[in-house]
Amino acid sequence: MTSPDRRLAVRALRTVKTVNGVPLPLRGDVLDQILPHRGSFALLDRVDDVEPGKWAKGRRLIARTDPVLADHFPGRPIIPGVLLIETLGQLSGIVLWSSPPAEGKEPISAASFGVLAGIKRFRFHRLVVPGDVVELHTACTARVGTISEFDVTAHVDRELAASGSLQIGFRASK
């Protein structure tokens, strides 16, 4: 109840940020429409924010039931570093997908794809284990022809888990 001397505060409606017409955050089915990865290789769980063509932030939840954990390592499960790299590569693919088309070019279609072309100066700073939520960040630092370079980081509980640079070769479908 309100008293006559107390006014009701009305909040403005929050605007939803969109990327290529798709509202953020990007999850499950939407990521399946953008990225070609399926099944156990659909590693990216959520994209929280994107600056088209520049950077993206996302997350991966490390589930206890992830099949890779049964064998890596029994009794002491940890996520293999190569899967962290792949997850960061998938997030970098979202940055490429979100890029505005170059002048005179068609927008990137969902049928286009990127491939991991290189890994530089990659370091693992802590183990990633079941129950962790990995906060991911990627920023495009250079583009030369069809190759884009990204500085990437992964954090768990605000602690740096991995960092490095990835090169993604991107090819538009014909």
Domain ranges of the chain: 25-171
Cα–Cα distance, 103 to 80 (Å, whole number): 40
The pLDDT, as a whole number, for residue 8 is 72
Cα–Cα distance, 33 to 60 (Å, whole number): 18
List, for residues 5-48, the tens digit of each pLDDT value.
777 777 666 778 999 999 999 999 999 999 988 888 899 999 99
Q: Are 167 and 117 in contact (CB under 8 A)?
A: yes
Q: What is the pLDDT along the chain (174 residues), one digit of tens a residue?
A: 556 677 777 766 677 899 999 999 999 999 999 998 888 889 999 999 999 999 999 999 999 999 889 889 889 999 999 999 999 999 999 999 999 876 656 656 555 678 999 999 999 999 999 999 999 999 999 999 889 999 999 999 999 999 999 999 976 665
The pLDDT, as a whole number, for residue 113 is 75
Q: Is the peptide bond before 25 cis (omega within 30 degrees of 0)?
A: yes
Cα–Cα distance, 12 to 24 (Å, whole number): 19
The pLDDT, as a whole number, for residue 1 is 54
72 as an active site residue: the answer is: yes
Hey, what's the torsion of the CAs at 57, 62, 65, 69, to 10 degrees?
A: 120
Region 25-171: CATH code = 3.10.129.10
The pLDDT, as a whole number, for residue 137 is 98
Give the active site residue among 72, 125, 137, 155.
Answer: 72
